[in-house]
Amino acid sequence: MPDRERRMREKPVKASMLLLQLREDIRALNSAISIISQKMRHLTRNEKILGRNLIVLNKKVKELAEMKESQALPPSVSKKFEELEKKIEENEKRIEELNMIIAHLRKEFVTSDELKELRQIIDSINPLELATLDQVKELIEKNKKIDKPRL
């Protein structure tokens, strides 16, 4: 009888430990998602800034191109003009890479709404009422022992 009482006391402890561990996992996931969400916002903001910079640089390049066509530019200005064109191309490539990274992140990670939905599902299941695998094995063994004397 004391063994049985000891096991009965351990069961709620195991279940509460599982619940605590589940809550900690959810908190960890929630903070990871918050960090990823914040990084995505920063990436989007940086993408917008780079886009604006590209527009300004494109206008300057067009102005220089028009000046180049209308009159001969000094070699130093032509060299700077070529450098600007290279930087614009590099920035465009970088923006494309950032867009691909953002698209990948949006596909790969869950949103906070999805995490809230998952939390509601877990709360509705009430893990405290679930039995662990060890508890089920103990019950099966116990029932086998009880059924053997009857046969």
Q: Domain coordinates of the chain in residue numbers?
A: 2-150
What Å distances lie between residue 52 and 6, 43, 49, 56, 92, CA to CA?
Answer: 69, 14, 5, 6, 12
Place 73 in a pLDDT band, splitting at 50, 70 and 90: low
Longest CA–CA span in the chain (Å) reads: 110
Rounded CA gap, 102 and 39, in Å? 9
Q: Is the pLDDT of residue 7 over 80?
A: no
Select from 82, 78, 56, 55 the least CA-distant residue to 67.
78
- Taking only the tens place, the pLDDT of each residue in 14-33 is 777 778 888 888 888 888 88
Structure confidence at residue 70 (pLDDT): 65
Please report, for residues 14, 75, 118, the alpha-carbon distance to residue 23 in angstroms, rounded to integers and kept in the order given. Answer: 14, 67, 12
pLDDT tens for residues 95-142?
Answer: 999 989 888 888 888 777 888 888 888 777 776 677 778 888 888 998
Note the pLDDT of residue 93: 92
pLDDT at 13: 59
